[in-house]
Amino acid sequence: MPVALLLLAGTGELPPSTPDLGKAGAPCRPGETGPAAVIEVVGLRDRAGLLKVELYPANDGDFLADDNVLIGTGKVFRRVEVRTPQNGPVTLCIRAPAAGTYAISVLHDRDANHRFGVSIDGIGFSRNPKLGWSKPAAQSVALGIGPKPTRTTIVMNYRRGLFSFGPIAK
């Protein structure tokens, strides 16, 4: 079902992002057999808050773009959000609309406020690029997803000092 792109009355601005956008059809079904990414999440700082995995088109213009805009223009956007498991390995699964190349992000929303807080939250991307202060290029995170579930590992990154992001040193 298409989602209409609504503008705030007379302002020309998009409404705030809604955590429910992109969730329809995104979670994997039990025994998933279609195109999907099965993601092992490693390097969590702790087990607080939420984990949010998002699937985007693998191009710079759409990667990490506003979910309202992507859905409103008929582009691929999927989201799965779960409470961070309190123990054990963390595996998330997100369905893709078809086999193809996508960009995936995982947010560790430690305070569960549905926003990325640079000083508190963690972030990871498919293919685990080295992070700086700007978003990685879509090409560096582009992941091929086949007609059956594709397994991958995403390493979480957190702010380290004033000027860098990276995995937690063990």
Question: 3-state SS of the chain?
Answer: CCCCCCCCCCCCCCCCCCCCCCCCCCECCCCCCCCEEEEEEECCCCCCCEEEEEEEECCCCCCCCCHHHHHHCCCCCEEEEEECCCCCCEEEEEECCCCEEEEEEEEEECCCCCCCCCCCCEEEECCCCCCCCCCCCHHHHEEEECCCEEEEEEECEEEECCCEEECCCC
Tell whether the model's pLDDT for residue 14 goes beyond 70: no
Residue 5 has pLDDT above 50, yes or no: no
User: What are the domain boundaries of the chain?
Assistant: 36-161
pLDDT over 90 (residue 55): yes
